[in-house]
Amino acid sequence: MAIGHVDGGPLRRRQGPPRRSPDPICFHRAEVPSRQRRLAHVPGPRGTAECPINPSYVRVGGRHERIHQVIEPSRSAIPLDRLDAVVFDTDGVLTDTASVHAAAWKRLFDKYLAQRAARRGEPFHPFEEPDYLRHVDGRTRYDGVAGFLGSRDISLPWGDPADPPDRETVCGLGNAKDRFFVAHLRDHGAQAFPTSAAFVRRLRAAGVRTAAVSASRNMVAVLEAAGLRGLFHIEVGGVEADRLGLPGKPDPALFLEAVRRLEVAPVRAAVVEDALAGVEAGRRGGFGLVVGVDRGGQAAALAERGADLVVDDLGQLAVDGGPVRPGGR
């Protein structure tokens, strides 16, 4: 993901070990012709024998290899006969705001690290894109601060959510980042990805229930600014997650809360995510399908973390699987 600027500099994107839980929905291999596949060497799922034709895995030279990128995924379809709901992450999937979050994080940490280095007479090592992708992206604000600081062996008091943004605590730094993001949202608004909004509308027209989720406490403001409020049956953002004490991604609690409210079992629901931590959360939660949205060249990493299907844009997905069902609109 190319990261923009919020009075800050550029950044880049992440990696991590694969995690598998229940096997994904079995797609028909013919949906993704072999010339459109690129493969990464990842062991096949436990249920390969039960799902012998699966475009997430193919058999090559006696081993299973996982497809990590579909170059022309317009030929792939969401199987509505096996799904009752789809849960969408917000930033980076529905709205073009992931880069704004990343730039706000860079502005925060570069300022803090420079001041700390000057105080201690140490070299300044800036916050880079791999830092964002490994330790921050998809996580709650305070977990992101703690995760990144821990990676630099920096220990700060946790503090209190009411800490002012100039206080040197985990919460204080998190609140400073939030101030940068909110200022950008106020001055520039938020843009929806038109293809994502259209895809949600196609699902609703087919009777599929939908949810928007985010670890961000600004989710409602982002959806409002992007003109997406009212498009989803359920919204679960950072404010609700904090109220319920839900842990952040890669824990699947946020997604599980969404399907609980939709009254749908995880195995009958799909998760759509652009963050590695979010894809891993979908896989850990036992969702029937995990779709990775690759906005910036991390298709392989998304597949390794558990995405069954990786696309560049939701406009590349078809909606398939039977008649329109009542009650989803």
Q: Which residues are catalytic?
A: 89, 91
Question: How far is Cα 78 from Cα 25, in angstroms, rounded to an integer?
Answer: 10
CA-closest candidate to residue 76, choices 270, 284, 286, 285: 270
Residues 6+ apart with CB under 8 A from 278: 89, 138, 249, 250, 271
Question: How far is Cα 66 from Cα 18, in angstroms, rounded to an integer?
Answer: 11
| Tokens at 38, concatenated | 């690129």
Question: How far is Cα 229 from Cα 217, in angstroms, rounded to an integer?
Answer: 15
Burial state string for 161-196 with b = 16 or more CB within 10 A and e = fewer than 16? eebeeebebbbbbbbbbbebbeebbeeeebebbeeb
Question: How far is Cα 258 from Cα 304, in angstroms, rounded to an integer?
Answer: 24
Range 292-296, long-range pairs (CB < 8 A, 24+ positions): 293/92, 293/93, 294/69, 295/1, 295/92, 295/98, 296/1, 296/2, 296/13
Bridge partners (DSSP) of residue 38 are 69
CA-closest candidate to residue 312, choices 272, 253, 281: 272
Sheet of 63-70: strand order equals 37-40, 63-70, 57-60
H or E, element range at 61: none
